[in-house]
Amino acid sequence: MFYSGMDYAKETGETIAGTALIPTWFVWPYGGGSVFLCCIFTGWSGHYLMTPVEGCPTVFQTICSLPSSYHQYKIVVDGEWRHDEHQPFENGNYRTVNTVFLARESDYVPGILNPQMHSGSNMNVDNEAFQRLVRASSGPLHEALPRVSEADLEVSRRHITIFLSTHMAY
């Protein structure tokens, strides 16, 4: 079974009153043709499609909403089970797996997600939505992502502004 994103309560059937789900960003920065996330929180049976990051065709990502807990996962790249040696991992019943511990949503605000917009931008940004992203490792998030220059960011912002100003958004 393949999914494009994960809602823990919907996919596992588990709902715990008062339990907040944390949107968790999983990244595979090593390329591949088809990349999927497979995880213990679905009994290793669900494969979640990871999509290329715009402008970075070798970096794949997906976001899953998970409860606060310790989770294990692996990546399936072109049909082969893989793990990221640059992220926390352990050996166990499922061979080598990556791990992530999610304590609370408020414990993490990524350093690369700067709430300050460039002064030339007139776009309104929901910074709280960006700050709610959580890491998929215990290391800093910026280690898993390629750097994007300020000039490239400004060009992207300009293109988005032009597009949004010429199209109707609902």
The pLDDT value given to residue 20:
79
Whole-angstrom Cα distance, residue 49 to residue 32? 12
Q: Structure tokens of 153?
A: 């960011």
- Residues 136 and 115: their CA atoms lie apart, in Å, by 21
DSSP code at position 55: T
Architecture field, domain 2-166: Sandwich (2.60)
Helix (H) or strand (E) holding 130: helix 127-131
How far apart are the C-alpha atoms of 34 and 27, rounded to whole Å?
14
pTM above 0.95, yes or no: no
Listed by start position, the domains of the chain span 2-166
Single out the residue of 59, 66, 84 nearest to residue 74, CA to CA: 84
Query: In the numeric block, which tokens belong to residue 90?
Result: 């352990």
What pLDDT, on a 0 to 100 scale, did the predictor assign at position 145? 52
Positions of E strands within 105-155: none
Burial class (CB in 10 A: 0-12, 13-18, 19+), 13: exposed
Q: Is 40 left (phi over 0), alpha (psi -120 to 50) or beta?
A: alpha
Is the Cβ–Cβ distance between 136 and 24 less than 8 Å? yes
Q: Which of 124-128, 132-136, 143-147, 152-156 is predicted most confidently?
A: 152-156
Looking up tokens 């910074």 gives 127
> Across residues 100-114, what is the average pLDDT?
50
CA 158 to chain CA centroid, nearest Å = 25
Q: Which of the residue ranges 12-21, 49-58, 104-113 has the most confident prediction, judged by mean pLDDT?
A: 49-58
Q: Which residues pair with 65 in a beta bridge?
A: 7, 23
Candidate ranges 55-64, 116-125, 147-156, 161-170; pick with highest mean pLDDT: 55-64
Q: What is the mean pLDDT of the chain?
A: 71
**DSSP letter (8 states) at residue 143:** G
Say what the pLDDT of residue 139 is.
41
Q: How far apart are CA 50 and CA 163, in angstroms?
A: 26
